[in-house]
Each structure stands twice: as C-alpha cells, then as structure tokens.
Structure 1
Amino acid sequence: MVSSVWAALGLSLTCISALSLISPAWFQTPTFSFGVLTYCAWPQGDSWNQSCVTFRSLEDIPDFAWKVSAVMLLGGWLLLAFNAILLLSWAMAPKGLCPRRGSGPMPGVQAAAATATIVGLLVFPISLASPFAKEVCEASSAYHGGRCQVGWGYVTAISSAVLASLLPVISWPSVTNVQGTTILFSSDTEKIILVPKRNK
C-alpha cells in the first residue's frame, strides 16, 4: 500500500514537472510569453489566437544561461521520470522479490532530480538579460523581469521542485533499535514476551 502511494506521488510529480517544462508561460507580457522550451505570441486582447514556436535544439535557444537552465531542467525531469518508473516497478513487484517495502528503492535519485531542477530554476532568470528577453520584456536584466511578469509555468516548476526536494526527506525510513531485547509474540497466550539478550 505504502509503495503504491509513493509510486502515485512519483508519477504525479513527473507529470507536473513535464507540464511546467513544456509551458510557454514562465514570463509573459499582454501579447507574448516564453518558457524554457517554447514561446508564444498573440494579438492584443486575443490570447486564444496564439502562435507558438518550440526550440528544437540547444542551438535555437537564444542565451547561454538559458541553455544551461534547459539542460539542468531536462536532466532533473529525466531523473524524476526514471525514479517514477523505479517506484512503479517496485510497487508492482511481488512481496518476496522486494521484502523491504516503504518509501522507495532509491531516494537518492529523487534528491538528485530535485537538486538539478532547483539549479535550473535559479539559472533561468539570468537569461532575462539576453537580447531576446530584453526585446520582449523591455529593460529586463538578470533576475529583473522588466515588463514581463512571472507566469504559472514558472510557479508550477517551483512547486514541483519543492515537492521533489521534500519527498526524499519525508520518505527516509526511520528505524528504532531496541538494544538487548528480543520481542516474541505468543499465539497461545496472546501476550508479548520480552526476552533479554544474552551475552556470549
């Protein structure tokens, strides 16, 4: 049961991260918006009539910081997807094959995904100083949007990064050791029998 919950959380987090990654609404003006991989333009007051363009390769991305951010965010998403597949296969495996059930087989993969995503999110606003962003946002600079406002895509990416960084922390198994005592359960008397550990 617990492993199924972690698998569902991992898959949900992967889908949310993918949605934010392909979203063009990271920074936006009344007639233009851009994200890591896509940008869109539309006539004033007619946001339903959008024309969007996707960056098909790193060479198409207009700024070096933007490229670094794209690589880090894609790497973080791939690690999240890999972790979600591991969690799903671990949840569906027979109990005898995976005796230790709990929060997942590899919390380190999710921690690495969260770290890569956070680095990508911190690097991306540097690209506001690029000629592309300055033309769109008017007087923008690194970490200053100018006329551009933060859109839902960037907020969603931040939320998924926070969740991805919290899940490994809360999933870390807590083990309590009771030293020197063996606990036996007797089915005849339905009592717990404590047997002290003997030194050899």
Structure 2
Amino acid sequence: MEGIVWAALELALTCISALSLISPVWFQTPTFSFGVLTYCSWPQGNSWNQSCGTFRSLGDIPDFAWKVSAAILLIGWLLLAFNAIFLLSWALVPKGLCPRRNRGPMPGVQVVAATATVAGPLVFPISLASPFAKEACGASSVYHSGQCQLGWGYGTAILSAVLASLLPMTQLPSKTKAQGRTILFASNTEKTIVVPEMSK
C-alpha cells in the first residue's frame, strides 16, 4: 500500500511539473506572456482572444540560458515521469517477486530529478537579458523582469521544485547506528528501542 501512495505522489508531482513546463505564463505583461516552451499574445483588454506559439526545438529558443533551463527542466520532468512509472510498477509487483520493497527501487533518480527541477527555475531568469525578453518586458535584465510580472507558471515550477526536493527526504531509512548500537525508531510509539550490536 505504501508503494502505491509513493507512486501516486510521484505521478501528481510529474503532472504539476508538466503543467509548469507547458505554461505560457512564467512572465507576463498586459498583452504578452511567455514560459519555457510557449508564449502567447493578445489585444489590449481582450485576453480571451489569444494567439499562442511554441518553441518546437531547443534551436528555436532565443537565448542560451533559456535553452539550458529548458533542457534541465525537460530532463527533470522525464526523470520524474520515469520514476513515477517505475514506482507504480514496483508497487504493483507481487511481494514474492521483490522481497526488498520498503524504500522503492531508485531513490537516486528522484534526487537527480529534484536537483533538475530546482536548477531549471533558477537558471531561467538569466534569459530575461535576451532580446526576446527585452522586447516583451521592456528594460529587463538578468533576474530583473522589467515591466513583466511573475505568472502562475513560474509559481507552479517553484512548487514542483519544492515538492520534488521534499519527496526524497521522506524516504530516508528508519534505521540508524549511534555509538556502536542499532537504534530502531518505532513509528506507532514515541519510544526508542536500543538493541546492542551483535558481534559477527
């Protein structure tokens, strides 16, 4: 049951990350908005009549830092998706086939995915100095958005990064060694059980 919960959390995190990745509202003005992979424009006062475009490849993205951020975020999203699918299959495999099922198969993949989802939003604001961003946001520069405001897409990317960072921390082992003794932490009580170390 615990594995299914972890798989569901990982799938939800993958969906949040994908939503932020395809969002055209990382930075916005009253008539234009852009994200990592998409951008939209509309007439003044008529935001329902939007015209949107997509950067179809990394070569179409207008700035090097923007390309780096997009590549990092795509890698992070792919790792999250791969880990979610793998965790789901791991949770659904019969217990007899996999005796060591308590922590999941690949905690390292989650850590690398979390690192990528944190690094992507940190690198992206460097691209505010690009000609594309300057045309959209006026006097924008590195980590200064000029006339643009932060949109919900960037907020979603930050939320995804925080959740991706917290998820591996909750899977730490519940067994540790201190001063030559094994300490087991009981989850249903507040007592600590100290077991003397056995010589081998």
TM-score (norm 2): 0.87
Unaligned runs of 5+ in 2: 183-195
Which residue of the partner structure matches residue 193 of structure 1? none
Mapped partners of 1:107, 1:198: distance in 2: 29
User: Does the residue aligned with 1:39 lie in a helix, a strand or coil?
Assistant: strand
Q: Offset at 1:199? A: 6.8
The answer on whether the counterparts of 1:36 and 1:66 sit within 8 Å (CA) in structure 2 is yes
1:90 and 2:90 aligned: yes
Mapped partners of 1:173, 1:12: distance in 2: 23
Which residue of the partner structure matches residue 119 of structure 2? 119
Q: Offset at 1:100? A: 2.5
Q: Over the residues paired in the alignment, what is the CA RMSD in angstroms?
A: 1.9
Percent of matched pairs sharing the same residue: 77
Which residue of the partner structure matches residue 71 of structure 1? 71
Q: Offset at 1:9? A: 0.2
1:152 and 2:152 aligned: yes
* Structure 2 CA distance for partners of 1:176 and 1:29, relative to 1, 3 Å: same
Which residue of the partner structure matches residue 136 of structure 2? 136
Matched residue count: 185
TM-score (norm 1): 0.87
Q: Offset at 1:109? A: 0.4
Which residue of the partner structure matches residue 161 of structure 2? 161
Runs of 4+ displaced beyond 6 Å: 196-200
Mapped partners of 1:4, 1:118: distance in 2: 25
Deviations 1:104-123 (A, max 9, x none): 21111011001112111111
